[in-house]
Amino acid sequence: MQVAVVLYPGFTALDVVGPYEVLGRLPDVEVVFVAERTGLVRNDLGSLLIEAMATLDDVTSPDVVLIGGGPGQSAQMSDGPLHRWLRDVDRTSAWTTSVCSGALILAAAGLLTGRRATTHWAALDMLTEFGVTPSRDRVVIDGHYATAAGVSAGIDMALTLAGLISGDDVAQTVQLIIEYAPEPPYHSGSVDSAPATVRKSAIEILTA
């Protein structure tokens, strides 16, 4: 099984690395990082580069497609090579997936029209512009589309997908191997639980 993880300048690292850690540990799975051109691709914070080992044209029929979000997502909303590739591979993929604002790219490519999907809380309402029904669930499965909410939710989505692909026992084994048992010291991980001052600060940063 081949998993194609899409990179573009300004991606958020955990959006793609979290799912990579999960899906890359499934039996008989090959993960390939793809981009319009091969080479190093810089993340949104500017200090991490991941190498795309294959171009979009090199990967024509992946079983799973995953695209993350990040500030660079805004430059990927116009129809072009990436959108065409997403539509092409979606015809044969078992799963087409996104993390965070990567869902907006799938939506702009026309893949989520008429479906339920989720994305980062700050971008959730934007899904309606593309005929998508937004959901505040952390992971949404609709047909062969799996979307995750913001950043860290990609790990939850990947574990969900791992269970659907390889079975619950395998998925739980991977969860134990990566020791995914979150116990954050704060309760500000969602809009509903975060204090008003924290919400205000986050919005100011995200809209700067």
Structure tokens given for 207: 């809209």
CA 89/CA 34 separation, integer angstroms: 13
Structure tokens given for 202: 């986050």
Instruction: Check: CB of residue 119 under 8 Å from CB of residue 135.
Output: no
Active-site residue flag, 41: no
Q: Is 34 helix (H, G, I), strand (E, B) or coil?
A: strand
Cβ-based burial of 77 (10 A; exposed 0-12, middle 13-18, buried ≥19): middle
Q: Is 173 helix (H, G, I), strand (E, B) or coil?
A: helix
- Per the listing, tokens 């799912």 go with 19
CA 85/CA 35 separation, integer angstroms: 10
Choosing from 100, 112, 124, 158, which is the catalytic residue? 100
Residues labelled as active-site residues: 100
